Amino acid sequence: MAVEIKHEKFQFLLKWTLLSFGIIPVSYMISLIIVLLVHGAFGFNMTEGGTYLSQTVMQIAGGAVLGLGTGIYQRSLLRKVFDVTLSWIYTLVIGFVVTELIVCIILWQLGLNRYELRFIEFRSLPETLFFACAGLLIGFLQMAILRKYFFGSIYWLLANTLGWGICVFVTLISVWAFFIGALLYGALTGATLMWILRKKQEDR
């Protein structure tokens, strides 16, 4: 029985990590398309930075898409572990949307255009901070869900913050390293979730 449980955990961790590696970059690419569509709807082309308002709307839209894609695959896997609701998906969407809104408002007040801080153009340090902040908010919201089922859910907050931050930070090497970052995010958050589950079993 113990061997079977370990095998199931390994399978879960493997799926979580590989889906993170595949779906997060794809979701981000789709979010870029949505961003460009919103940007175009405001009358700007790809070479133009747009206005503070257009940048705020497009970044919020892009963040919502990234959160939605990530939330869907995570919930599909977590449903096999515990009774997780659609609220898991909502936390990811809300986390990215609220973070982008706050970031854009702050940059607006500082006179900086969000367009100038895109990590896709190898300016990954600001974007790393933005993603880490989103991970912090997401982790906080999801911690409220996890604590109903697992002990030690506070570690999920740390894993999400580091995971999303690392996901972008590695693009200092190359923009294509985002795939590696997504893989590292999946491995870190997946391992943390497995540890939380084990802690629940040990504390029973």
Q: Which of 21-30, 52-61, 195-204 has the lowest mean pLDDT?
A: 195-204
Residues 21, 182 contacting (CB under 8 angstroms): yes
Alpha helices in the chain (DSSP H): 2-41, 52-78, 87-110, 124-146, 154-169, 178-203
Residue 63, token pair as written in the block: 């963040």
- Residue 71 CB-density burial (10 A; 0-12 exposed, 13-18 middle, 19+ buried): buried
Query: Is the pLDDT score of 23 beyond 50?
Result: yes
Which of 4-18, 70-84, 182-196 is the least confident region?
A: 4-18
Dihedrals phi, psi of 200, to nearest 5 degrees:
-65, -40
**What would the two tokens of residue 55 be?**
């940048």
The tens digit of pLDDT for each residue in 109-135 reads: 988 877 776 655 556 788 899 999 999
Q: What band does 7 get if pLDDT is binned at 50, 70 and 90?
A: low
Number of residues that make up the chain: 204
Query: Which band of pLDDT confidence, cut at 50, 70 and 90, is reported for residue 136?
Result: very high
Tell me the pLDDT of the chain averaged across its residues. Answer: 88
202 touches 150 (CB < 8 A): no
With a pLDDT cut of 70, the percent of the chain lying above it is 89
For residue 29, CA distances in Å to 15, 79, 113, 179, 180 come to 21, 26, 21, 11, 15
How many Cβ atoms sit within 10 Å of the Cβ of residue 52? Answer: 18
For the chain, the domains span 2-203
